[in-house]
Amino acid sequence: MVALPGPQAIVLAMFSSAEKNNFPGNDIPCTIAPLDQLRLVSEVAINRHAEAASSHHHPSSRDTPIKQPERAKFATMAKLAAALTVLALLGCMARECQAGYASPPPHTPCSPGHPSTPPSTATTPPPATTPSPPASAELVVGYYQKTCHRAEDIVREAVRNANAGIMAGLVRLFFHDCFIRGCDASVLLDQADPSSATEKFGLPNLSLRGFEVIDAAKARIEKECGNVVSCADVLAFAGRDATYFLSNKKVYFDMPAGRFDGRVSLINETLIHLPPPFATVEQLKAGFAAKGLSADEMVTLSGAHTIGVSHCSSFDDDFSDRLNASTSDMDPKLMRSLEKQCRSDTGSDNTVVQDIKTPNKLDNKYYKNVLSHEVLFASDAALLMADDTSAAVRANADDNNVWEEKFKAAMVRMGAIEVKTSADGEIRRSCRVLNTY
């Protein structure tokens, strides 16, 4: 699981008449939310869209606190955006009831690619220390060797030029893409269905970053090779390369390719498929299992919480209540520090680093933080609440090399979720819009 904005916790209550600890489930009825919940959702959306507007209206801009006088400047636009968000959510609830983590639809295999050894250049990392596990019969290592042999080098160069915060954002962007409709670059779309906003504008995705890196890599590839490399593969390569640089060039692996870009992106699907920061361990297992990933792979991928930042609202809310000393198991020293950073009188939803010890390094420090109760999210702390996940946490904390190898394999496995084919996908010319013929 990757860091998600906290206000989604409020919205998730709209999907079930049960308590939050019953989410997700395969037999939970959907109900229309009370008016006070809708009001609160509107207020949250207004604040978040105002923050996005203050960051030059770009979803990938770095989040910065917005001061009270600036809010009025964006009030009209923000209210319209909030109304769109609420209407989209209501539209979702009006449909046939869906489980919190719905099973993916069946898909047809991708066309086979052209396997070959990636080219050796100055920016190409050394070969993986162990062979990458097979992701899927449809995806192939070196897929673009004959049609655009520098594709992976171009993506790697674009990622290398980004800062650590954006690199962390790229890992998260890859996760959020794969968990909604599969790894099909649907999260990159600014528009798709005229009747609905896209995934990018769902509450869990408003703080996503890294879009400009994908745009830059795709533009350069289009210039050199034409329209042959999918945005979905560009994003998969970028997620892989971000882990390489954030791990001080220790975590490198071959990422199979051959994905096509999806044509559907709906705002209301973000809350259904992305695990919330207050999820229990059983909910996390169910959510990852629905995507074909094991409990051990879930724990392994959670290690990405050692990089990047989180909004305070993701853990300091009525659902998680992580800063409540009477109910939380968080380390008291960390709790006091977070209270100072999060509970200001400015009305801003501040951001804090997820790992106070190695915030810009991808390593196994996250698991040591879980064991010492120095993690932000209730879902992180929940990993100790089951024997199998607790054992996995301890094993990963004990041996960084073991975790690195598992992380490589899990990233490849995640990258094979619900891949699109030429029958139900395309290769976009621009990652932000669908092709027009």
Phi, psi of 351 (to 5 degrees): -115, 150
Which residue pairs, CB below 8 angstroms and at least 24 apart, start in 11-18?
11/41, 11/44, 11/89, 11/203, 11/271, 12/271, 12/276, 13/37, 14/38, 14/41, 14/89, 14/93, 15/93, 15/100, 15/271, 15/272, 16/100
CA distances from 138 to 106, 134, 415 (A): 14, 10, 12
Q: How far is CA 416 from CA 270, 291, 293, 359, 421, in A?
A: 19, 10, 10, 28, 12
Burial class (CB in 10 A: 0-12, 13-18, 19+), 94: exposed
- Confidence at residue 163, expressed as pLDDT on a 0 to 100 scale: 96
353's tokens: 């680093």
pLDDT digit string (tens) for 156-183? 999 999 999 999 999 999 999 999 999 9
113 is an annotated ligand-binding site residue? no
Tokens linked to 304: 């990405």
Higher-confidence residue of 18 and 265: namely 265
Q: What is the mean pLDDT of residues 370-397?
A: 96
For the segment 13-40, the average pLDDT, to the nearest whole number, is 33
**Residue 339's pLDDT band (cuts 50, 70, 90):** confident
State which H helix or E strand residue 352 sits in.
strand 351-353
Residue 268 has pLDDT above 80, yes or no: yes
Give 352's strand partners.
310
Residue 182 marked ligand-binding: yes
Is 199 marked within a binding site?
yes
Q: What percent of the chain has pLDDT over 90?
A: 54
Q: Could you tell me which residue, 10 or 363, shows the higher pLDDT?
A: 363
Ranges 70-84, 153-167, 403-417: which has the least confidence? 70-84
Half-sphere exposure of 85 (CA within 13 A, CB side): 31
The angle, 0 to 180 degrees and rounded to 10, between the axes of the packed helices 231-246 and 400-414 is: 170
Q: Is 147 annotated as a binding residue?
A: no
What is the predicted pLDDT for the residue at 437?
60
Catalytic residue status for 149? no
The per-residue pLDDT of the chain, averaged, comes to: 76
**pLDDT tens digits for 27-66?**
322 322 333 333 334 444 444 444 444 443 333 333 334 3
Q: Is 265 annotated as a binding residue?
A: no
Which phi and psi (to 5°) does residue 381 adopt?
A: -65, -30
Q: Pick the closest to residue 176 from 346, 417, 428 (CA basis).
A: 417
pLDDT at residue 326, rounded to an integer: 81
pLDDT digits (tens, 9 = 90+) for 117-147: 333 343 556 555 434 443 444 899 999 999 9
141 CB contacts (<8 Å, ≥6 apart)?
115, 118, 132, 254, 255, 256, 257
Of the listed ranges 301-305, 319-323, 346-350, the least confidently predicted one is 346-350
**Residue 258: both structure tokens together:** 């051959």
Q: What is the reported pLDDT for 231?
A: 99
Residue 276: pLDDT above 50? yes
Q: Read off the pLDDT of residues 224-257 as tens digits, 9 standing for 90 and up.
A: 999 999 999 999 999 999 999 999 999 999 999 9
Residue 346 annotated as binding?
A: no
The one catalytic residue among 57, 107, 114, 176: 176
Q: Are 213 and 141 in contact (CB under 8 A)?
A: no
Per-residue pLDDT at 90: 35
**Tokens 């598992």, residue located:** 406
What pLDDT was estimated at residue 180?
Answer: 97
Q: What is the pLDDT of residues 390-404, one digit of tens each?
A: 999 999 999 999 999
Ranges 200-204, 265-269, 342-346, 366-370: which has the least confidence: 342-346
Question: What does each C-alpha distance from 364 to 40, 309, 368, 370 come to in angstroms?
Answer: 37, 17, 7, 10
- Residue 316 assigned as binding residue: no
417 closest CA partner among 112, 228, 138: 138
- 313 marked among binding-site residues: no
**The one-letter amino acid at 323:** L
Phi/psi of residue 271, each to 5°?
Answer: -75, -20
Q: How confident is the model at residue 115 (pLDDT cuts 50, 70, 90)?
A: very low
Structure tokens at 349: 């939803």
Q: Who wins on pLDDT, 54 or 335?
A: 335
Q: What is the pLDDT of residue 320?
A: 67
- The annotation status of 184 as a binding-site residue, yes or no, is yes
For the entire predicted model, the pTM comes to 0.71
- What pLDDT sits at residue 304? 95
d(CA 338, CA 57): 28
Q: Is 358 annotated as a binding residue?
A: yes
Mean pLDDT for the stretch of residues 284-301: 97
**Segment 263-291 mean pLDDT:** 95
Closest to 349 measured CA to CA, from 2, 38, 71: 71
Which 3 state secondary structure label does DSSP give 141? coil
Does the annotation flag 305 for ligand binding?
yes
Better-scored residue on pLDDT, 97 or 194: 194
Q: In 3-state terms, what secondary structure has residue 334? A: helix
